[in-house]
Amino acid sequence: MDQYGFARVAAASPEMRVGDVEFNKERIIGMIQRANQQGVEFLVLPELCITGYTCADLFRQTILQDGAVKALQEIAASTRGSLMVVMAGLPLNIKGRLFNCAAVIQDGDILGFVVKTHIPGYNEFYENRWFSRAELLDIQEIRIGDKAVPIGNDLIFACEDNDNFCFGVEICEDLWVPVPQSGFLAQAGAVLLFNLSASNERVGKASYRASLVEIQSGRCVAGYVYSSCNIGESSTDLVFGGHNIIAENGVIAAQSDRFLNTSDLISYDIDIDGLLSYRTAMGACHSGQNARGYRRVMFKACPSRRETLQRRIDRHPFVPDSKGQRDERCREVLSIQTSGLVTRMRHTGLSRPVIGISGGLDSTLALIVTARAMKQLGLSTQNIMAVTMPGFGTTDRTYSNAVSLIKGLGAEFREINIRESCLQHFRDIGHDPEDHDTTYENTQARERMQILMDLANKHNGLVVGTGDMSELALGWCTYNGDHMSMYGVNSGVPKTLIRHILHWYADYEADEAIKGILYDILDTPISPELLPPSESGTIEQKTEDVLGPYEVHDFFLYHVVRWGSPPAKVLWLAQHAFSGTYSRDQLLAWLRVFYKRFFSQQFKRSCLPDGPKVGSISLSPRGDWRMPSDASPQLWLKELEEM
């Protein structure tokens, strides 16, 4: 692993000839050398790649069996001086039975042999004609040369320097059965799973195969690396395509082309530390009765200090890249928000939502969610009491958009100017209105919330909250002001995603008039509008000028909360993601802001109103994030100061 916990894995399909172990050995050694040059730490090769999978009755020939073992020893010898772990397949004859095995090799040594657990009794190749099931193996070691090597389907490989870093191996059919072997390996601690396979091609099988790998990596919270033999196998009755797949925690990370005439290799950097952190958060789901019987075989860490990553780091981890996936994400999030509000209104029997509309992103989304909820409930949007409350910082642009949006969606429009009530409050508490401090700002936010709460009481209504998850992470809300509501529909939605949801709604559900309003709202700078505007009437108080860009803070939020990444790793990832856009010094300064505010503002999150979780992260004190309000950030800030 490198200093940030990434391990470079590879799946390869070398050129091969059926039964020609000398040819296959040379191509395998060449592939090992190629992988070494690319900084690969774990290389998995196909099932029975030393002999070929389609040898059929030739497997019974002792010359082929002995030749495979001799070739394996030479392959192992070729790895001397390298800490890359290599997995290659071959048949082993043990007490008159043949076993389909994966040899695990490092630095010239054979660390162990993993035996295939599930032998298909009826498939295109009738494999049980030649090979026995692992349960029939009655030894735990096999002598290869002058060394006794562990053998079985009960081996798990653990790192000498980090006992939490383990990997496991299964072979082809072991993944396709109802209860895959890799599930038990994951329960025993394997965070990397390797599959040596020989999966033939037929119409539609490739997508199903990829789905199996993808889903299993997610179920096991692991990196899953799958290698399959290529078109060099016999084409007597079947064709093999060399389909190599790498998946990480439920996502396909890399996939090879099929039907190539040459050797092929794909590689990817798996976030081992991130997976281990996520498993820790999941708790007991990765312990089990079946995990206790595994024998541990130690391997040496392959240290690396590479400064480049062989994986893409998403700038916007909450927002899918492709338009199709992004559209589906936006539709689904809106549906979750809408369903949450529908259920709350049905439960409370309250049919008059009360919502404050500022003309900004968050209140716009909350109003759209509320309008959709009313439609699902069979109620008129006129039942929505939408209140705009101009204050000292309200600009003509946001006021106009707020009014137009309320009327365009058919809600009841109310305008309550808060300037005089705030001035009266300043007089009551002895505050100079020319002193534009925190008191000046928070008075307005609390006055607005008092109005909304009292209107809800008066009209038997329910105050719909507008604050989003990004603001909650940074505490960019007034305690008991916009921080409060009776149901917070946006509390699980990050700011970077809100923009896309509004775009989606504008393009697919809004009429032309609403569409134009939404586009102008999307083009308006983000601001709480609590300080007076400029002389020309434009927004003077811009949130991102104070805190830093929300796209950067959402990136920090994702990696800190979702993956438990330490500050140095978060910064390093941010440098990769935002290269050419923001400098390291800028990112470092904003990361300090993030940690300071994330810790100091927990007291606001500790008493959040109810609101729906929509993605992989929630800051609800009743759900995914429970943190003491007086926790110290010094350990995290110290790491940043030392960088």
- Give catalytic residue positions: 47, 116, 172
Q: Strand, coil or helix: what is 591?
A: helix
Q: Which residue, among 292, 438, 444, has the nearest Cα to 356 in the 3D structure?
A: 444
CA atoms within 13 A on the CB side of 95: 8
Strands of 487-488's sheet, edge to edge?
A: 412-415, 385-388, 352-356, 461-465, 487-488
- Distance separating alpha carbons of residues 43 and 34, to the nearest angstrom: 11
The 10 Å Cβ neighbour count of residue 341 is 26
The 10 Å Cβ neighbour count of residue 214 is 20
The residue behind tokens 């904003």 is 590
Q: Which residue, among 610, 609, 437, 459, has the nearest Cα to 530 in the 3D structure?
A: 437
Helix (H), strand (E), coil (C) string for 230-272: CCCCCCCCCCECCCCEEEECCEEEEECCCCCCCCEEEEEEEEH
Strand positions, DSSP E, 346-448: 352-356, 385-388, 412-415
Segments in 382-437 forming alpha helices (H): 396-408, 419-429
Question: Any idea what the Cα angle at residue 220 is, between residues 79 and 566, rounded to 5°?
Answer: 80
- Distance separating alpha carbons of residues 305 and 13, to the nearest angstrom: 27
Quickly list DSSP for 94-111: ETTEEEEEEEEEETTEEE
- In Å, how far are 113, 179, 191, 192, 215 from 290, measured between CA atoms? 20, 12, 16, 18, 21
Q: Strand, coil or helix: what is 310?
A: coil
CA atoms within 13 A on the CB side of 632: 3
- Distance separating alpha carbons of residues 521 and 402, to the nearest angstrom: 9
- DSSP class of residue 388? E
Q: Which residue, among 126, 112, 612, has the nearest Cα to 339 in the 3D structure?
A: 612
CA atoms within 13 A on the CB side of 433: 15
Q: Tell me the two tokens of residue 440.
A: 């000046």
Say if residues 310 and 268 touch (Cβ distance below 8 Å).
yes
- Distance separating alpha carbons of residues 399 and 388, to the nearest angstrom: 8
Segments in 79-180 forming alpha helices (H): 173-176
Say if residues 225 and 265 touch (Cβ distance below 8 Å).
no
203 Cβ contact partners less than 8 Å away, ≥ 6 residues apart: none
Q: Which residue, among 90, 102, 255, 249, has the nearest Cα to 174 in the 3D structure?
A: 102
70 Cβ contact partners less than 8 Å away, ≥ 6 residues apart: 21
